[in-house]
Structure 1
Amino acid sequence: MKLERKHALVLLAIAAWNVITYLRFIKALIDTEGRPTGYYVAHTILVIVNLLIAALLGTWGVRAYKASKASQSSPV
């Protein structure tokens, strides 16, 4: 499957959105006190999984962007 530049930008935007929102979520989680340990464990796992998803989408977005750039500059 060939991804175009617009697809790469969408992947990068989603990855950036995940990072921004979950960094804010981490701050809110740190500021929370008096919750059971299970609350912190569950939310920490959610944060880790979502940041891994962001890293994967960001990697795909960068690769797609580079591939679209290379295909535009190569003579047809």
Structure 2
Amino acid sequence: MKLEKKHAFVLLGIAAWNVITYIRFIKALIDTEDRPTGYYVAHTILIIVNLLIAALLGTWGVRAYKAAKTSQKSTV
């Protein structure tokens, strides 16, 4: 499958969205009080997994952008 720049931008946008929303989620979790330990453990795992997904999508987005840029140069 050939990825174009538009695909790279979508991947990078989703990665950025995950990072922004989960940073806000971290701040909200820190401000939360009087919850059972399981609540914090579960939400911390969710945060870690989603930030890892963001890192993966960001990596794919950068690679797709570079590949599309290289492909565009070779066809011009």
Q: With structure 1 as the length reference, what TM-score do the two structures score?
A: 0.97
Count the aligned residue pairs. 76
Structure 2: give runs of 5+ residues left out of the alignment. none
Q: Aligned residue for 1:16?
A: 16
- CA offset digits 1:14-72 (Å, max 9, x no partner): 00000000000000000001100000000000000000000000000000000000001
* Equivalent position SS for 2:34: coil
Structure 1 outlier segments of 4+, above 6 Å: none
Q: Aligned residue for 1:3?
A: 3
Q: Identical aligned pairs, as a percentage?
A: 87
Q: Aligned residue for 2:40?
A: 40
d(CA) in 1 for partners of 2:74 and 2:61? Answer: 20
d(CA) in 2 for partners of 1:34 and 1:44? Answer: 16
